[in-house]
């Protein structure tokens, strides 16, 4: 019996690597510390009432942001392990197998479990406040979306200590991802972690389209909608077009692995190229899904800190929506070298070049907004300024990659790696950092320390260029991606070492970011105005942090920059009473069902990973039971009385 347990444990748990043992210890210590703290401070009830069962869009947004920062740490640590392995030729830090697992998990975590939740966090924080709504259209669905993302991410992250990680790349091309290429459970962790999380992302896209279309304040026509809200709408349109493709693709791959089908295997009449087409029909719109909201953040930040109305509003909206649509017709440029034919390559080369035009339009709009503006440079504006040259370089190298004949040279090289990171980090991550710092006072009621924030900014940016500029050179010199070592004769070690130094500088920049948050929590610089930046949109018209119900009365919008114009009218003594009288506010009740249903999805996914139907079937039955319970739950809302609203408003206004 003991031998059987030992054999099972050696198969079930990942063993033999000191790095994994260190991770095991860190996980156990962290869990014990969390349990101890919650028990010692008697916070279990608070955790359940205020967070695990909440449907408040602001708290859901905070949970997305916290999860994203944790995933940034995990994905960043993976990146540092990769760079350490490549810092010198013939390094023995990571075995080839472990290296493959690390670069696979790094890509998945950074795109799907860091950038996406950071984006969704800002969706939840800003959009309802910008459009004058009290919550999203479907609060229950919003909470379920978060918990599906969270437990999908947890399922995927378990694989590096249980069962073994996926090692076929972040998009898991067949035949590497089929049972013949990946006979372990790593690919199944990938499939079900991404699948469960992706379902939550699709729900978020539907929810925010409904919110923006149906819940705008009176007077907020399409031409008066804030630019960040427009960018969220454009991103969500791409989400509902692209994510069903991901769902179907992963389901087909699982059918191949679980039932022995041959949808993507040549020997059974299938075709691996069909998988490549399908995954990139999701994968390339996904790049724009995460970048478009960052463009919206830049628009808000530039207008606010230039003290000017955004230049070219209509052209900016058109550019956003054009990117949302055209992004769905550029996927094949990711595999120009795979024999699709000259005519097909030509079409996708042209569509890729075309999509650079609306991006260029936005760059000029931001520059013209800053032109002759009354500029100030707090941390959000610094990240925005840094984005422009970074994204221009990334965009130009993207146009180079769009030329099909040239792509035969660039493809699969470190030139492509540098381009991809330049666009995704410089475009999306810089934007989400700017948005996080910009809306932080509205989320928590206090500002982040500017001095430490500037240190984080400069260290991160210097590290970024030191890390990725050398990769363009080694890529053009022939260094291909996904190799774990190389010889001294290649002449690449100097540039690779510099790139590794840059990577560690970015890691130090992240530590500065953590220090900035911790320092600001300890020495809070409270926002006593509700409008610390001199904002232009409705979220800055209410106290910080935003009340539970957001707006005591529904705002009436008469201008694109409604709050800015209202402040000008108040300063001139011309403000008119536009708000309604107080009345009871209808709000959704908290619900445990989203949390419990996500646990059931996690259970079902875990069972399918190991092909244990005795776990998977109860998990799916739990999903059905929670759906049924919710369908018969009619006690889903309540009203906040006028007296309670007055009490809350009086308490909030005393600090303003």
Q: What is the pLDDT of residues 374-387, one digit of tens each?
A: 999 999 999 999 99
**263 — pLDDT class (breaks 50, 70, 90):** very high
What is the pTM for the complete model shown? 0.97
Instruction: Enter the tokens of residue 83.
Output: 């760079």
- The reported pLDDT for the residue numbered 19 is 82
- Residue 462, pLDDT above cutoff 70: yes
Among 10-14, 129-133, 308-312, the least confident range: 10-14
Best CA proximity match to 253, nearest among 202, 201, 187, 206? 187
- The reported pLDDT for the residue numbered 653 is 67
d(CA 258, CA 125): 40
Query: Are 377 and 307 a contacting pair, CB within 8 Å?
Result: no
**577 — pLDDT class (breaks 50, 70, 90):** low
Q: What is the DSSP string of 622-646?
A: HHHHHHHHHHT----EEEE-HHHHH
- Residue 575, pLDDT above cutoff 80: no
Convert the pLDDT of each residue in 138-166 to its tens digit. 999 999 999 999 999 999 999 989 999 99
Q: What is the DSSP string of 546-612?
A: PPTTS-SS-----STTHHHHHHHHHHTT-----SPPP--EEEEPP-SHHHHHHHHHHHHHHHHHTT-
- The reported pLDDT for the residue numbered 576 is 67
- The reported pLDDT for the residue numbered 579 is 56
**437 — pLDDT class (breaks 50, 70, 90):** very high
Q: Which residue has the tokens 């279990």?
A: 44
Highest mean pLDDT among 264-273, 570-579, 614-623: 614-623
- Residue 286, pLDDT above cutoff 70: yes
- The reported pLDDT for the residue numbered 250 is 97
- Residue 41, pLDDT above cutoff 90: yes
Convert the pLDDT of each residue in 210-237 to its tens digit. 999 999 999 999 999 999 999 999 999 9
What DSSP designation does 268 have? G
- Residue 20, pLDDT above cutoff 90: no
Boundaries of every domain in the chain: 14-52, 53-591+636-654
Convert the pLDDT of each residue in 611-635 to its tens digit. 999 999 999 999 999 999 999 999 9
How long is the chain? 656
Ramachandran bin of 310, using left for φ above 0, alpha for ψ from -120 to 50, beta for the remaining angles: beta
Query: Are 406 and 465 a contacting pair, CB within 8 Å?
Result: no
- Residue 655, pLDDT above cutoff 70: no
- The reported pLDDT for the residue numbered 578 is 57
- Residue 654, pLDDT above cutoff 90: no
Instruction: Enter the tokens of residue 609.
Output: 């990973």
Mean pLDDT of the chain: 94
Kindly list the distances between the CA atom of residue 203 and the CA atoms of 240, 244, 512, in Å, as whole numbers in the listed order.
Answer: 9, 11, 34
Instruction: Enter the tokens of residue 89.
Output: 């030729």
What DSSP designation does 373 have? -
Topology (CATH level 3) of domain 53-591+636-654: Cytochrome C Oxidase; Chain A (1.20.210)
Read off φ and ψ for residue 586, nearest 5 degrees. -85, 125
Convert the pLDDT of each residue in 375-419 to its tens digit. 999 999 999 999 999 999 999 999 999 999 999 989 999 999 999
């Amino acid at each position: 019996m003991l031998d059987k347990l030992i054999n099972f444990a050696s198969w079930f748990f990942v063993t033999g690597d000191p790095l994994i043992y260190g991770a095991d210890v860190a996980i156990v210590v962290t869990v014990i510390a969390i349990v101890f703290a919650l028990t010692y401070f008697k916070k279990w009830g608070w955790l359940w009432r205020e967070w695990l069962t909440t449907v408040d869009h602001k708290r859901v947004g905070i949970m997305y942001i916290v999860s994203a920062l944790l995933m940034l740490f995990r994905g960043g640590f993976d990146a540092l392990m990769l760079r350490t392995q490549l810092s010198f030729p013939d390094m023995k830090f990571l075995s080839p197998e472990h290296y493959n697992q690390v670069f696979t998990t790094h890509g998945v975590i950074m795109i799907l479990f860091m950038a996406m939740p950071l984006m969704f966090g800002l969706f939840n924080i800003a959009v309802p406040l910008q459009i004058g709504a009290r919550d999203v259209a479907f609060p229950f669905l919003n909470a379920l979306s978060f918990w599906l993302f969270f437990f999908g991410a947890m399922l995927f992250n378990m694989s590096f200590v249980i069962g073994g990680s996926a090692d076929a790349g972040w998009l898991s091309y067949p035949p590497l991802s089929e049972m013949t290429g990946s006979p372990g459970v790593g690919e199944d962790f990938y499939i079900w972690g991404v699948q469960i999380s992706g379902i939550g992302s699709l729900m978020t896209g539907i929810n925010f389209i409904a919110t923006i279309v149906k819940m705008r304040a009176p007077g907020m026509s399409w031409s008066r909608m804030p630019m960040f809200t427009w960018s969220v709408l454009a991103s969500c349109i791409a989400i509902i077009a692209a994510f069903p493709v991901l769902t179907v693709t992963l389901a087909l791959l699982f059918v191949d692995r679980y039932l022995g089908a041959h949808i993507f295997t040549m020997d059974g009449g299938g075709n691996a190229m069909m998988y490549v087409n399908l995954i990139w029909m999701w994968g390339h719109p996904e790049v724009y899904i995460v970048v478009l909201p960052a463009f919206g953040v830049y628009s808000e930040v530039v207008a606010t800190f230039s003290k000017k109305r955004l230049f070219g509003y209509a052209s900016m909206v058109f550019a956003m929506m054009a990117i949302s649509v055209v992004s769905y017709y550029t996927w094949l440029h990711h595999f120009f070298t795979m024999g699709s034919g000259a005519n097909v390559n030509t079409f996708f080369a042209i569509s890729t070049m075309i999509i650079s035009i609306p991006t260029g339009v936005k760059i000029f709009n931001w520059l013209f907004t800053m032109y002759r503006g009354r500029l100030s440079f707090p941390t959000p504006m610094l990240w925005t300024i840094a984005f422009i040259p970074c994204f221009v370089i990334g965009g130009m190298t993207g146009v180079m990659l769009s030329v099909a004949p040239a792509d035969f040279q660039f493809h699969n090289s470190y030139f492509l790696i540098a381009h991809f990171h330049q666009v995704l980090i410089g475009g999306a991550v810089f934007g989400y950092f700017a948005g996080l710092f910009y809306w932080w006072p509205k989320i928590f009621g206090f500002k982040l320390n500017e001095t430490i924030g500037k240190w984080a900014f400069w260290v991160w940016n210097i590290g970024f260029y030191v890390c990725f500029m050398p990769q363009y050179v080694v890529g053009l010199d022939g260094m291909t991606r996904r190799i774990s070592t190389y010889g001294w004769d290649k002449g690449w070690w100097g540039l690779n070492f510099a790139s590794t130094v840059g990577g560690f500088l970015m890691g130090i920049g992240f530590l500065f970011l953590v220090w900035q948050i911790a320092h600001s929590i300890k020495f809070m610089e409270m926002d006593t105005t509700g409008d610390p930046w001199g904002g232009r949109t409705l979220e800055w018209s209410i106290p910080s942090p935003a009340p539970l119900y957001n707006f005591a009365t529904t705002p009436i919008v008469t201008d694109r920059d409604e709050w800015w114009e209202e402040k000008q009218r108040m300063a001139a003594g011309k403000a008119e009473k536009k708000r309604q009288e107080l009345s009871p506010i209808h709000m959704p009740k908290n619900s445990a069902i989203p949390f419990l249903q996500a646990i059931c999805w996690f259970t079902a996914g875990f069972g399918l990973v190991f092909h244990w139907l005795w776990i998977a079937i109860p998990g799916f039955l739990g999903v059905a039971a929670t759906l049924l319970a919710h369908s018969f739950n009619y006690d889903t809302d309540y009203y906040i009385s006028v007296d309670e609203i007055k009490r809350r408003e009086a308490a909030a206004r005393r600090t303003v």
